Amino acid sequence: MSQSKQEVLLGNEAIARGIVESGCHVVTSYPGTPSSEILPAVVRFKKELGLDTHVEWSINEKVAYEVALAASYTGKRAAVIMKQVGLNVAADPLMSSAYTGVRGGFVVISCDDPGPHSSQTEQDTRFYALFAKVPALDPSTPREAKEMVKAAFELSERHYLPVILRPAIRVSHARQNIEFIPVVKLQRPADFQKDPGRWAATPRFRLQLHKELNEKLHDIQEEFETSELNTSVPGDDRRLGFIAGGTSYAVLRDTLQELELEGRFPILKIGTSHPIPQRLVKEFVAACDQVLVLEEPDAVIELQILDKSKLLGRLNGVVPSAGELSPEVIRQLLVQQANELGMETPTEIDTGELSQLVGDLGLPVRRPRLCPGCPHRAAFFGMKRALGSKAIYPGDIGCYTLGLNLNAVDTCLDMGGAVTIASGLYQAYRQDNRDVPIAATIGDSTFLHSGVPALANAVYNGARFVLVILDNSTTAMTGMQPTADSGMLADGGQGQRVAIGDLVQACGVKFIEEMDPYRVQEFEALIKRASQHTREPDGGVAVVIAKRPCVLYDPSPLEENPVPVTISEDCDGCRYCLIAFECPALVLDEDLGRVVVDRRICVNCGVCVEACPKGAIVEAEE
Amino acid sequence: MLFATKVFSETALALGHDVLGSETHGMSQRGGSVISHLKIGSYESPLVRHATADVVLAFHPHEAYRGLVFLRRGGLCFVSGPDGDSWDRGVKDYMAENAIAAYVYPADDVALEIGSPRSANLALIGYAMSVPEMPFDHDQIRATIERITPSRFRKANLEAFEAGYRRKR
């Protein structure tokens, strides 16, 4: 045989490879940046290798967690994958399963997003490990992430505990050449052994389980004292040492090299963020004058270190307490420390001057925008025309949060938050006998994730508002994962469809109508009727399902029925369409003093014909 | 953009180098600026720090202005943009002071002329490969493009690459 196969993989694909090479039997997930590419890569390897791995996109993270956990109850290996805020949703089973323990290896993969780049918080998954009293492993590179998946399964099976793997975005979305190890099938017939004192433990047994958990955690800490997951880099200059984990360790290593300080100061790399190897850390700290702690997004290792007198970190303000520890930030920290020790560092170009110059150019800021032809834009535009700016527009998590740009999203809290915020707003205004129109928007996948209980609650408690479910047939923001409404399964197979309209009806909603939002005038009229329903004596929540596939997911309807537009001489460059409609394909030509269509990106949806109050955007003649 | 990165990372891997890079997904993909980092050799972190990059490829003049901050002294910048000297005066001085060489090439127009506007990135790569300071050579990059392009785009991508390499309008 030639040398083993290598491939340049995304960190998330490397994690998937680790899952498959560990013989994992059941893998569940709910998509969310930066975790979304793991499950599809598991599907890829499953197909390539002809494995019978059960993979599923679950309805939400709590559900995903529990489905995978049950597989572990039977002795199989299982993994559940989510983004960091997804673990909030799955926090309930996480806490409880730490007490009950597991049987087959059970790995919880929760990807963090320091920055944040694509999340509502910069929260640190590793705090959940402390909270739930379970171990957490923190990889620095895709290659290490793959190895840590295997270590996590083994650790989980040695101690019968869930193990958290916490890759940060710079691991998940890094690319690196990864070696493939042949996959050996792990025979584990499902064998659930009844043990009510554990799997159905009442509070009386829970105290015992808590004591057991403490013992497990103690044993794990002992194991971590000598684990290969924690490594050190020697250095003779003990005036400064580094304790670092995850991405920060990787950036530290590269930056030390660039500053010609490689090998000078000792480094302790902590791969086991919880529990940290206390003795190892204590010895390391004792040997140094000062220790800079580098980790992100929060001070999880630092907080666990008992004697903090020599530490430089987030707790004493040396390391910034928000935002990513980018290479630029870490370089600045290192240069500062080196200078304090009286050391010179190599000079570099001063990019501050350049940043100033480029800033002064006033280049257009390319903020994220809905795509040309996006059906959400049409829906938001119709809603705004129907209800105006006095109405309150609770929004939700997905591409359609960008309705913000059209002033059609006033709140964005969390998954399902549109429905609950709309309910709460209604109750608050109703108390004062005030009638303020409320029109909430939520995507199809988000509605299924946590909108359903929120809607049942709204109906039950008599809330009144318009709920527009933006059904584009897919989970677009995170890369087109199928939804339960489509019935398509994670591996491409056909499952049983769960129709959104049926769920809405089952929640007790009396006004349910579905329409293609591209029909702007009719859609506007529908929103008005829906709003009227919320005011009628026997009215209530009105649900409008705005149904049209995402143009990236399914461009075929537009290819079959294109509506090319042209802009007539009547355009006076008033910018109304640019502000109220904000399609990237409509641009102001400064020289002509009017709007033109960028043909390279226009998808011929024709909706913008409605967006000009002067009627200057017209359908092109054949 | 991701494909352009892949061309270089796959070439490096084929020649036995380690590669490590970083890319953008999620919300930032919806029309914002997208930056892809690539480091070839022995590295731990996938991010290229400001003032350390050897080469920046910018697929729009605005992105060149934003990307320049990554270049080291003596670095190279290849920009897809209209012919002619349209650099901001101050930025031009900055590049001169720091021995940064910037090459502008109308890759979009070239790709449009050969009937495959989506291959503009390959035209810019081809153009960059005509500069001797670039890592790898023409044949190595061409072989990667042949290998990794889906068959229906292969002819167009190779044509754009060659047009750029020969600096043809």
**Interface mutation target, options A117, A257, A259, A349, chain B, most CBs of B under 10 Å:** A349
Token couple for A382 = 């119709």
Torsion angle defined by CA atoms of residues B12, B169, B80 and A597, in that order, rounded to the nearest 10 degrees: -130
Residues A236 and A218 grouped into a single domain: no
Q: Do B26 and A478 touch (CB under 8 A)?
A: yes
Is-contact A448 A485, C-beta < 8 A? Answer: yes
Would you call B66 and A402 a contact, using CB atoms and an 8 Å cutoff? no
Q: Tokens 């609650």 map to which residue?
A: A457
Q: Tell me if chain A has a CB within 8 Å of the CB of B91.
A: yes
How far is Cα A132 from Cα A331, in angstroms, rounded to an integer?
34
Is A367 domain-assigned?
A: no
Same domain, residue pair A50 and A135: yes
Q: CB of B9 within 8 Å of any CB in chain A?
A: yes
Instruction: Find where tokens 């935002």 sit.
Output: A323
C-beta of residue A529 within 8 angstroms of C-beta of residue A387: no
Question: What number is the average pLDDT over the span A95-108?
Answer: 98
DSSP labels, A333-349: HHHHHHHHTT-------
- Chain A residues near residue B20 by CB distance under 8 angstroms: 141, 174-176
A189 and A301 within one domain:
no
Q: Is the minimum CB–CB distance between B86 and chain A shorter than 8 Å?
A: no
Instruction: Say whether both A567 and A532 belong to one domain.
Output: no
Q: Same structural domain for residues A135 and A170?
A: yes
pLDDT tens figures, A236-259: 999 999 999 999 999 999 999 999
What is the mean predicted confidence (pLDDT) over A67-87? 98
Q: Which of A254, A353, A399 is the best residue to mutate to test the B interface, defined by the most B CB atoms within 10 Å of its own CB? A: A254
Q: Which residues of A touch B72 (CB under 8 A)?
A: 348-349
Partner-chain contact B88 A357, CB within 8 Å: yes
Q: Residue B160: pLDDT above 70?
A: yes
Counted across chains A and B, CB pairs separated by less than 8 A come out at 147
Span A371-386, pLDDT tens digits:
999 999 999 999 999 9
Say if the Cβ atoms of A118 and B28 lie within 8 Å. yes
Give yes or no for a contact between A78 and A72, defined as CB atoms under 8 angstroms apart. yes
Q: Which residues of B touch A354 (CB under 8 A)?
A: 68-69, 91, 94
| A351 to B51: CB separation less than 8 angstroms, yes or no | yes
3-state secondary structure A435-463: CCCEEEEEEHHHHHHHHHHHHHHHHHCCC
CATH code for position A596: 3.30.70.20
At A2 the pLDDT is 44
Q: Do A175 and B9 touch (CB under 8 A)?
A: yes
Sheet containing strand A466-471, strands side by side = A439-443, A466-471, A542-547, A511-515
Are the beta carbons of A458 and A422 closer than 8 angstroms?
Answer: yes
pLDDT of residue B13: 94
Name the nearest CA neighbour of A234 among A262, A205, A267: A267
Domain containing residue A245: 231-340
Could you read off the pLDDT of A142-174 as tens digits, one per residue? 999 999 999 999 999 999 999 999 999 999 999
pLDDT for residue A1: 36
The backbone torsions φ and ψ at residue A545, rounded to the nearest 5 degrees and listed phi first, read -100, 110
| Position A473 in a domain | yes
- Please check whether residue B24 is in contact with residue B13, taking contact to mean a CB–CB distance below 8 angstroms: no
d(CA A311, CA A291): 5
In a domain, A184, yes or no: yes
* Distances from the Cα of A503 to the Cα of A64, A323, A455, A509, A573, angstroms: 20, 40, 10, 9, 45
Q: Which amino acid is at A128?
A: Y
Percentage of residues in chain A having pLDDT higher than 70: 99
Cα torsion through A77, A83, A87, A88, rounded to 10: -170
H helix or E strand, kind and range, residue A87? helix A84-89
A355 in contact with B at a CB cutoff of 8 Å? yes
Q: How far apart are CA A457 and CA B120, in angstroms?
A: 53
> Which residue, among A324, A282, A321, has the nearest Cα to A304 in the 3D structure?
A282
DSSP A481: B
What pLDDT is attached to residue B168?
67
Between A34-38, A345-349, A425-429, the lowest mean confidence (pLDDT) is in A345-349
Q: Which residues contact A317 (CB under 8 A, 6 or more apart)?
A: none
Q: Are residues A403 and A544 in the same domain?
A: yes
Enumerate residues 6+ apart whose C-beta is below 8 A from B84.
B104
- Report ipTM for this prediction: 0.92
User: Among A526, A551, A576, where does a domain finish?
Assistant: A551
Residue among A8, A33, A477 whose CB faces B9 most closely: A8
Q: What integer best gives the mean pLDDT of chain A?
A: 96
Does the pLDDT value for residue A622 go beyond 70? no
| Substitution target from B2, B20, B148 for chain A, most A beta carbons within 10 A | B20
Contact criterion met (CB below 8 Å) for B142 and B158: yes
Using pLDDT thresholds of 50, 70 and 90, give the confidence band for residue B23.
Answer: confident
Same domain, A532 and A581: no
Task: Calculate how close chain A gets to B6, using CA atoms only, in Å.
Answer: 9
Contact between B94 and A353 using a beta-carbon 8 Å cutoff:
yes
Does one domain contain both A181 and A95?
Answer: yes
**Binary contact (B27, A118; C-beta < 8 A):** yes
Residue in the structure block whose two tokens are 């809405």: A504
C-alpha A463/C-alpha A307 separation (Å) is 53
Which of A64-73, A271-280, B112-121 has the least mean pLDDT?
Answer: B112-121
CATH number of this structure's domain B50-165:
3.40.920.10
* Boundary (domain end) residue, out of A209, A225, A241: A225
Residue B81 Cα distances to A71, A378, A563, angstroms: 55, 33, 30
* Closest Cα in chain A to B64: A358
A177 and A258 share one domain: no
Mean pLDDT of A87-103: 98
Question: What is the arithmetic mean of pLDDT over A99-105?
Answer: 98
Cα atoms found within 13 Å of the Cα of residue B19, Cβ hemisphere only: 27
Say if residue A516 is in the same domain as residue A400: yes
Tokens of A140: 């620095």
Count how many domains chain A has. 4
Same domain, A113 and A199: yes
Inter-chain CB proximity B10 and A8 less than 8 Å: yes
In chain B, what are the domain boundaries? Answer: 50-165
Which residue from A118, A327, A402 is facing B26, i.e. has the nearest CB?
Answer: A118
Q: What is the CATH number of the domain that holds A379?
A: 3.40.50.970
A495 phi and psi angles, rounded to 5 deg: -110, -170
* Residue A176: strand pairing partners: A9, B20
From A324, A315, A261, select the one nearest A296 (Cα to Cα): A324
pLDDT in tens, A407-439: 999 999 999 999 999 999 999 999 999 999 999
Distances (CA, A) of A375 to A399, A434, A443, A520, A538: 11, 32, 11, 10, 32
A221 lies in the same domain as A292: no
A220 within domain boundaries: yes
Measure A361 CA to nearest chain B CA, in Å. 8
What region, left, alpha or beta, does residue B111 occupy, with left being phi > 0 and alpha being psi -120 to 50 degrees? alpha
